[in-house]
């Protein structure tokens, strides 16, 4: 179990690193336009959602029975699926360049 947890932590850390890079790339224009307050708010939101989500998950997992765990897992999987489709797949198909590869 410890081995699996270490791989999970590594995967989350790698994902968070790539997401942070993407977040900073997209929001760099806010700094250039003098919107430092909004940029700071976005950075703080991004930085806090992961740890807060993990803490909520840890608290809920210790209190849920098997049905409750299944419901929370299904909601989490549905959220990931939804983000994958709406934020990644659909924009990729809107871009006509390279459609032969898609």
Instruction: Give 51-65 pLDDT, tens digit per residue.
Output: 888 788 778 777 777
Q: Average pLDDT of 28-36? A: 90
Q: What is the mean pLDDT of the chain?
A: 82
96 pLDDT higher than 80: no
Helix (H) or strand (E) holding 50: helix 36-63
pTM value? 0.55
**Residue 37 clears pLDDT 90, i.e. is over it:** yes
pLDDT at 99 (0 to 100): 60
Q: Give the pLDDT band of residue 40 (cuts 50, 70, 90).
A: very high
* DSSP calls for the chain: -HHHHHHHHHHHHHHHHHHHHHHHHHHHHHHHTT-HHHHHHHHHHHHHHHHHHHHHHHHHHHH--HHHHHHHHHHHHHHHHHHIIIIIIHHHHH--TTGGG-
Residue 98 has pLDDT above 70, yes or no: no
């Amino acid at each position: 179990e410890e081995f699996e947890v270490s791989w999970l932590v590594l995967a989350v850390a790698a994902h968070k690193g790539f997401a942070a890079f993407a977040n900073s790339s997209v929001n760099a224009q806010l700094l250039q336009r003098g919107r430092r307050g909004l940029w700071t708010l976005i950075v703080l939101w991004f930085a806090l959602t992961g740890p807060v989500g993990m803490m909520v998950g840890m608290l809920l997992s210790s209190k849920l029975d098997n049905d409750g765990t299944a419901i929370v897992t299904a909601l989490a999987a549905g959220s990931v699926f939804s983000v994958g489709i709406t934020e990644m797949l659909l924009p990729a198909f809107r871009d006509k360049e390279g459609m032969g590869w898609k």
